[in-house]
């Protein structure tokens, strides 16, 4: 009885199909699966490219059109993340803050939702940056607005309008944020300053949020704030402070940004 010829199969993970992309004047041969499976933009484009044989060789690459503010280096950083993810390998740990901005830029433009979430997570840490300086907060607002990341815009606005920061906001930075934003930030800071002048010595917390240590015995009551030592009844009610919160003042903008970020 003749022995049947064994059927040779391609491994579902480690038989890697590649595609050649031309980005500006540079050719990249990269695994195609992640591009086609994780992005609606590339998935649709691949059907057109396949019928033309594009991407099969250096002589017939898929010519990628980059977003207006992107370049070849941005695509390189995207590929540095996509290649290991294709093989279920860890993402490189040596990507810089700037590198991850490149990944966020292209993943947002090309609808790689998983990559976008990963880039936002990586960039949400201070990553060695001075997270208390105005430069940090300005970058948070700028990047948050550009890539629709609500948490960054909120963090930046709260940082610049913080009531414990008595330093004036740099004029050139305010101008860069736009007149409407600048006026609102100054309005919030002036509110906090006026409150402090009227109530010197208070920490700025509402009566409801005042940290109070319970009395040592059941017959005594401790109403003094742990932060400033003043009676919590001297503090304003939360409703008196709420209208000046960043979330209230900038509600119209924040509601338009990505809630999931």
Q: Are residues 39 and 79 in the same domain?
A: yes
pLDDT of residue 220: 59
Q: Are residues 121 and 181 in the same domain?
A: no
Span 143-152, average pLDDT: 96
Burial class (CB in 10 A: 0-12, 13-18, 19+), 232: buried
Q: CA torsion sign, 67 to 137 to 144 to 74?
A: positive
Final residue of a domain: which of 98, 128, 158?
128
Given a cut of 60, is residue 36 above it in pLDDT?
yes
pLDDT digits (tens, 9 = 90+) for 172-226: 888 899 999 999 998 888 887 777 766 777 777 778 888 777 755 556 566 788 8
Distance CA 62, CA 29 (A): 10
Q: Are residues 68 and 112 in the same domain?
A: yes
Q: Are residues 119 and 188 in the same domain?
A: no
Q: Are residues 139 and 246 in the same domain?
A: yes
pLDDT category at 20 given cuts 50, 70, 90 is very high
pLDDT of residue 172: 84
Q: Are residues 117 and 38 in the same domain?
A: yes
Among left, alpha and beta (phi > 0; psi -120 to 50; other), residue 178 is left
Q: Could you tell me the residue range of the domain that residue 181 belongs to? A: 130-202+225-260
CA distances from 130 to 125, 133, 136, 138, 153 (A): 11, 6, 7, 12, 17
Burial class (CB in 10 A: 0-12, 13-18, 19+), 17: exposed
Distance CA 141, CA 137 (A): 6
Q: Are residues 108 and 36 in the same domain?
A: yes
Domains in the chain, number: 2
| Residue 50 or 124, more confident | 124
CATH of the domain at 29: 3.30.710.10
Distance CA 215, CA 223 (A): 9
Span 75-82, average pLDDT: 98
In-domain check, residue 241: yes
Final residue of a domain: which of 91, 113, 128?
128
Helix 150-160 / helix 179-198 crossing angle, nearest 10 deg: 50
Final residue of a domain: which of 72, 102, 128?
128
In-domain check, residue 107: yes
In-domain check, residue 183: yes
pLDDT of residue 207: 80
| Residue 185 or 132, more confident | 185
Q: Are residues 99 and 148 in the same domain?
A: no
In-domain check, residue 246: yes
In-domain check, residue 86: yes
């Amino acid at each position: 009885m003749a022995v049947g010829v064994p059927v040779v199969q391609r491994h579902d993970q480690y038989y890697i199909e590649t595609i050649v992309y031309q980005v500006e004047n540079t050719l990249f041969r990269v695994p195609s699966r992640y591009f086609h499976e994780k992005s609606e933009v590339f998935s649709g484009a691949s059907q057109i490219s396949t019928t033309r044989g594009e991407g099969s060789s250096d002589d017939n690459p898929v010519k990628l059109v980059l977003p207006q503010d992107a370049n070849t280096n941005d695509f390189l950083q995207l590929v540095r993340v996509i290649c290991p993810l294709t093989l279920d390998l860890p993402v490189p740990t040596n990507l810089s803050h700037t590198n991850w901005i490149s990944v966020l830029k292209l993943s947002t433009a090309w609808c790689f939702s998983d990559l976008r979430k990963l880039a936002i997570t990586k960039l949400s840490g201070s990553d060695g940056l001075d997270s208390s300086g105005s430069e940090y907060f300005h970058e948070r607002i700028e990047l948050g607005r550009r890539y629709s990341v609500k948490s960054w815009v909120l963090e930046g606005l709260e940082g610049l309008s913080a009531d414990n920061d008595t330093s004036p906001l740099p004029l050139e930075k305010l101008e860069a944020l736009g007149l409407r934003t600048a006026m609102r930030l100054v309005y919030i800071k002036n509110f906090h300053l006026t409150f402090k002048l009227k109530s010197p010595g208070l920490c700025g917390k509402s009566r409801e949020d005042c940290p109070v240590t319970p009395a040592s015995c059941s017959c005594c009551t401790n109403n003094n704030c742990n932060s400033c030592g003043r009676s919590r009844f001297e503090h304003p009610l939360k409703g008196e402070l709420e209208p000046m919160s960043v979330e209230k003042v900038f509600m119209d903008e924040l509601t338009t940004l990505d809630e999931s970020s």
